[in-house]
Amino acid sequence: MSVHELTEAAAFVVGTKQTTRAIAEGQAKKVFLAKDADRFLQSEIEKLCQEHQIPIEGVPTMLELGRQAGIEVKAAVATIIGDEQ
């Protein structure tokens, strides 16, 4: 399993707000978190994933995660989503 799953996913969201919303709505299937993201953000996302039993995978840098998500800026977090709730 790797961050390449993100590009192959039918749907995903990028960013902290969208990820938090996807987790709260039960749509998050897997979270990718940049290892160089803000420590507070990392701990909050990790805590949410643990509470909701969502797999989380670290990505070396925000730049790499942004590129894998198909955006031209850095991204701290991206999440594969699905329709099931």
Return the CATH superfamily for domain 4-81: Ribosomal protein L30/S12 (3.30.1330.30)
Smallest CA-to-CA distance from 65 within 9, 14, 12 is with: 14
Domain ranges, ordered by start, for the chain: 4-81
The Cα 17–Cα 27 span in angstroms is 14
pLDDT tens, residue by residue, 7-63? 888 999 999 999 999 999 999 999 999 999 999 999 999 999 999 999 999 999 999
Please tell me the pTM assigned to this model: 0.92
Q: What is the pLDDT of residue 85?
A: 43
